[in-house]
Amino acid sequence: MSGAANEANIAAVPMVEVERINTYYGDSHVLFDVSMQVRQREVVALLGRNGAGKTTTLKTLAGVLHPRSGTIRFEGAAIEQLPSHTIAGLGLQLVPEERRIFGGLTVEENLDLAALSAKKPLRFADIFAIFPRLRERRDSYGRTLSGGEQQMLAIARALIRRPRLILLDEPFEGLAVIIVQNLLEVCRELVAQGQTIVIVEQNVRAALSLASRAYVLNNGHVVFTGTSDELQSSQDVMNRYLGV
């Protein structure tokens, strides 16, 4: 098989296959028969209004929540009932909306802590090449970082574990436009290097500029599946479910 054909074959194989998952918070049914796929080396946007079930979907993928029914396969293996730390060890990393930076630790100490449980952590030099600003702030405490710097550190802590898949939950929330543009460029470079990403984001235009495909959720149901271009061409879906 030629190199190009092999690359195409790899890209066509689903990294994640989600089939009809139903997730609850206590007695509250939040996700209803949600199905989706994520192929290797692609960016998938998960979009919808507040309360649509986007973050719940990411938490279910990461093992923070477990579906009551349905299956989740990561690189062919069923993971829907595995604990979150086991799923993380398989190469699936969640970067949560709240970032969870340790304010009393320096940038370097935050990275050190993330690297402890990695089999072969990425070198600090590689992290700082991706985020030069973190090199400048390496001795600064987490609580002194700006919102943008905290987001860079949150993503860097995931990257240091060499993830197969990164789940980004609202990475651009509350950030200045220039910082959002910088993070988008970082994400594009990561994808060019082979990284796979699922992004949840209220900034629909930014998310679709990065993603090749999108799913739209409404009240826990998938109401649209298609390419980013198809979504942007569907003014009815954009207006009805995204308010764009």
* Cα–Cα distance, 51 to 8 (Å, whole number): 36
Read off the pTM.
Answer: 0.90
Domains in the chain, CATH or no CATH each: 14-91+165-244 (3.40.50.300), 99-163 (no CATH)
pLDDT truncated to tens, each residue of the chain (244 aa)? 445 444 444 456 799 999 999 999 999 999 999 999 999 999 999 999 999 999 999 999 999 999 999 999 999 999 999 999 999 999 999 999 888 899 999 999 999 999 998 889 999 999 999 999 999 999 999 999 999 999 999 999 999 999 999 999 999 998 999 999 999 999 999 999 999 999 999 999 999 999 999 999 999 999 999 999 999 999 999 999 998 6
- DSSP-assigned letters across all residues of 189-220: HHHHTT-EEEEE-S-HHHHHHH-SEEEEEETT
DSSP structure class, residue 137: T
Classify residue 109 as left (phi > 0), alpha (psi -120 to 50) or beta.
alpha
